[in-house]
Amino acid sequence: MRIVYCINSVCLMGGTEIVTIVKANALAKMPDNEVWIAVSDAPHDPVIPLQGVHLVDLGVNYFTMQGTLALFQKLRLYKQRLEKVLNEIKPDVVIAMGQYEKGVIPSLKLVSKPVLIREVHFEKNYRRKDNTSLKGNLLAWMGEMYDYHWKIKGYDHIVILTEEDKERNWKGWKNVLVMPNPITSVCEEKSTCENKTAITMGRLVPLKDFSSLIRIWGRVAEKHPDWRLEIWGKGELEAALRQQIEESGLEGKVCLMGYTAEPLKKMSQASMYLLSSKHEGLPLVLIEGMSVGIPAVSYMCPTGPRDLIEDGRTGYLVAVGDEETFAERVCQLIEDEPLRKQMGQAGLKESEKYRIEDIAQRWMQLFRELLAKKSSKRNSR
């Protein structure tokens, strides 16, 4: 089977980019598969190595553009080059990863008539999140109309990440399937859940709401001053968060750790994972935490935590913004080591569902079903 993933780039340390490579590598290992990743920008090597996957750089270079006119010029160039490459490859399946290519692919004239799949890596209405202005909401509405009421209809199938998103936002859509992302790496070292450390990871941006987590830890530290919270990541709010830590008297108790290339190793040295995001797609960090045997305390933000955490068994779910209850759940895990370990082991077992080998097999089954369905339609004409 000839499979092509289309995405802006695989040179960035982003979740979608890493997941794309991991899935492509796994599919390329299967007999009779040939896999390509077609990118618009390739300023340097992929963020993780490709294994048996062909990389096609279309040389569009969106990252260097300035202004709206330049965007339309780049999109036209991208469409021309992508159409040419796909007609040379003659793929069976083309997958849009939800970046600039998502609005281009349905209008391509492809001789092989492949199955077209659109992956959606965020909650459907993500454009409206955190918009408070009339202009922002209008632009979000226009974006949703263009995407979900026009362009997305050109795809044979839509793949989303969570059952929660499907229930909330995709009722009545017959060609929508839930497929979670896989764990993208494996750490043999598992947590003992004995270190007096809680951990969280992500970009230091408003979406992750680490400011709330710092306030929560202020409550925790009053009861358990010997525990500390590690925040791993870089971003625009670093200075503001550092100031908040200092003004709260939490130096040494809440630590901004910066970037790490070994997230699973750092998680394996902690005893619980904390997630304070306002909204997500499917937070891989929760799956990764489960895979090293640590329980989680998470806001019930849309979407993802409800799909991943079984409240009271693999961790705790807390209403968004309820900092008092969040702190109580953290303290409960701190004060009950057997409970921490029990929840961590339950999460470890649950994480096996997200092994790349299993997820790749599920993708292959979907490809076969869609190709058979498309072939049947052609033959019936």
Residues 12 and 150 in one domain: yes
Residues 125 and 9 in one domain: yes
Local confidence band at 65 (pLDDT 50, 70, 90 cut-offs): low
Average pLDDT over residues 64-80: 79
- Alpha-helical regions (H) of 234-304: 238-247, 263-268, 284-291
Q: What is the dihedral of CA 17, 21, 26, 31, to 10 degrees?
A: 130
Any domain includes 272:
yes
Residues 292 and 173 in one domain: no
pLDDT of residue 269 exceeding 90, the answer is yes
pLDDT of residue 194 exceeding 90, the answer is yes
Residues 58 and 105 in one domain: yes
Report d(CA 146, CA 152) in Å as an integer: 8
pLDDT tens-place string over residues 292-315: 999 999 999 988 999 999 999 999
Residues 345 and 359 in one domain: no
Residues 350 and 369 in one domain: no
Q: What is the mean pLDDT of the chain?
A: 91
Of 78, 148, 289, residue with least CA distance to 70? 78
Strands 197-201 and 272-275, how do they pair? parallel
Average pLDDT over residues 250-263: 95
Q: Among 38-47, 205-214, 217-226, whose mean pLDDT is lowest?
A: 38-47
Any domain includes 187:
no
Tokens 């997820």 label which residue?
Answer: 359
Phi, psi of 129 (to 5 degrees): -70, 135
Report d(CA 303, CA 286) in Å as an integer: 12
Any domain includes 140:
yes
Q: H/E element holding 147?
A: helix 134-148
Average pLDDT over residues 88-110: 92
Residues 364 and 345 in one domain: no
Tokens 């092994």 label which residue?
Answer: 355
Residues 175 and 34 in one domain: yes
- Tell me 187's DSSP state: -
Residues 166 and 121 in one domain: yes
| Contact status, residue 176 vs residue 124, Cβ threshold 8 Å | no
Of 264, 269, 214, residue with least CA distance to 244? 214
Any domain includes 300:
yes
One-letter identity of residue 347: G
| pTM beyond 0.95, yes or no | no
Return the bridge partners of 95, or none.
5, 117
Domain that holds residue 223: 197-354
Any domain includes 188:
no
Reduced to 3 DSSP states, what percent helix, strand and coil does the chain have, rounded to the nearest 5? 45, 15, 35
Q: Which residue has the higher pLDDT, 192 or 132?
A: 192
Q: What is the dihedral of CA 89, 92, 97, 98, to 10 degrees?
A: 100
Report d(CA 359, CA 115) in Å as an integer: 19
Local confidence band at 320 (pLDDT 50, 70, 90 cut-offs): very high
Phi, psi of 116 (to 5 degrees): -105, 125
Any domain includes 60:
yes
Residues 46 and 70 in one domain: yes
Return the bridge partners of 270, or none.
none
Report d(CA 217, CA 297) in Å as an integer: 12
Residues 231 and 125 in one domain: no
Q: Among 16-20, 82-86, 289-293, whose mean pLDDT is lowest?
A: 16-20
pLDDT of residue 151 exceeding 80, the answer is no
Any domain includes 37:
yes
Residues 311 and 334 in one domain: yes
How many structural domains does the chain have? 2
Report d(CA 94, CA 118) in Å as an integer: 9
Local confidence band at 124 (pLDDT 50, 70, 90 cut-offs): low
Q: Which residue has the higher pLDDT, 176 or 70?
A: 176
The burial class, CB within 10 Å (0-12 / 13-18 / 19+), for 259 is exposed
Residue 290 sits in a domain of what CATH number?
3.40.50.2000
Any domain includes 192:
no
- Strand residue runs (E) in 83-142: 93-96, 115-119
One-letter identity of residue 368: R
